[in-house]
């Protein structure tokens, strides 16, 4: 039994589709089918029920899936213990840098096993796909991630701030309550531009926005600046160091927070995932 066969099986089990699994593995579909068939012969059990319309795990396949993930994680731990160089750590981020990211990069470079982070700017959905497919070692995401194809570890919490037009009546206050803000002036970015953060902000609101979403966060800030009653919510660290003649931002009372998460592959050793989270923690 080869580790490669286990990796192929885990990928097919996550996708429940041989074609998509082959794409993730960057190999031809026939090679995936051959490895799965060989694994089933070696184990003497059928792992997958396949028809022309669907693929699903057998009861034995579900048991083997859990053991296969543990085996792949153990193999990764062996490589770490053996001192396999980890000179490059590919981190998926949003386009804006902040002090937390700078601090974490410094911690990783000063660690007992130093890593040289390489920052990769990708939209959230592409970040998660890249981690799942092994193209990134980890990704940073604000808001909850519900995918079962990756490991998610909460690493920090940061406050949400209200971003207001500079003509907004609340400008000049030390802080602002959602009760002071006209819901009709709320602008929210489209969910597909950042699903976890969109859902986190929506959950913080007392009721659903009355206006349709407007593209990405850049579009939202532009729209807020045009409306004397315009406002939106954004993570405070995303706003740090930003300045604009058209908008400003204020803390909320009572305060509201959004969680920051480290996302890694399911085969990343838990000790590695924990060290990544510690690097980004407060």
Q: Are strands 88-93 and 150-165 parallel, antiparallel or unpaired?
A: unpaired
End-to-end CA distance of the chain: 43
Rg (the chain; Cα; Å)? 23
pLDDT tens by residue, 165-192: 999 999 989 999 998 898 889 999 999 9
pLDDT tens by residue, 28-53: 888 888 889 999 999 999 999 988 78
pLDDT band at 241 (very low <50, low <70, confident <90, very high): low
pLDDT tens by residue, 77-115: 666 555 555 557 889 998 655 788 888 988 888 776 677
Question: What CATH number has the domain bearing residue 239?
Answer: 3.40.190.10
Would the pLDDT of 26 be above 80? no
Mean pLDDT of 8-28: 86
Q: Give the number of domains in the chain.
A: 3
Nearest to 152 by CA among 123, 124, 173, 184: 124
Q: Beta-carbon neighbour count of residue 144 at 10 Å?
A: 16
Do residue 213 and residue 166 come from a single domain? yes
Do residue 253 and residue 266 come from a single domain? no
Structure confidence at residue 50 (pLDDT):
86
Distance CA 19, CA 30 (A): 9
Do residue 105 and residue 37 come from a single domain? no
Do residue 67 and residue 181 come from a single domain? no
Question: What CATH number has the domain bearing residue 47?
Answer: 1.10.10.10
Distance CA 198, CA 18 (A): 32
**Residue 8 in 3-state DSSP?**
helix
Do residue 175 and residue 161 come from a single domain? yes
Structural domain span for residue 62: 3-81
Do residue 98 and residue 147 come from a single domain? yes
Question: How does the average pLDDT of the chain come out, rounded?
Answer: 86
Query: How far is C-alpha 246 from the chain's CA centre?
Result: 31
Percent of the chain with pLDDT over 70: 93
């Amino acid at each position: 039994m080869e580790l490669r066969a286990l990796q192929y099986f885990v990928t097919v089990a996550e996708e429940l589709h041989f074609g998509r699994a082959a794409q993730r593995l960057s190999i031809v579909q026939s090679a995936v089918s051959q490895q799965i068939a060989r694994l089933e012969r070696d184990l003497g059990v059928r792992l997958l029920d396949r028809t022309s319309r669907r693929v699903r795990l057998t009861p034995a396949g579900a048991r083997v899936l859990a053991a296969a993930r543990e085996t792949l994680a153990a193999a990764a731990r062996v490589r770490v213990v053996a001192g396999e160089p980890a000179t490059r750590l590919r981190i998926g981020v949003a386009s804006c840098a902040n002090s937390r990211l700078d601090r974490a990069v410094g911690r990783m470079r000063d660690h007992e096993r130093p890593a040289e982070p390489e920052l990769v700017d990708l939209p959230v959905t592409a970040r998660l796909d890249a981690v799942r497919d092994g193209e990134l070692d980890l990704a940073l995401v604000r808001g909850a991630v519900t995918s079962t194809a990756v490991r998610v570890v909460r690493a920090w919490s940061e406050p949400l701030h209200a971003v207001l037009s500079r003509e907004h009546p609340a400008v000049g206050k030390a802080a602002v309550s959602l009760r002071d803000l006209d819901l009709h002036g709320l602008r929210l970015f489209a969910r597909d531009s950042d699903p976890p953060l969109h859902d986190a902000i929506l959950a913080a609101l007392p009721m659903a926005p009355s206006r349709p979403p407007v593209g990405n966060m850049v579009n939202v800030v532009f729209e807020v600046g045009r409306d004397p009653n315009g406002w939106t919510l954004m993570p405070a660290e995303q706003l740090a160091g930003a300045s604009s003649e058209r908008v400003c931002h204020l803390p909320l009372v009572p305060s509201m927070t959004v969680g920051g998460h480290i996302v890694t592959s399911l085969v990343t050793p838990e000790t590695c995932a924990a060290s990544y989270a510690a690097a980004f923690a407060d």
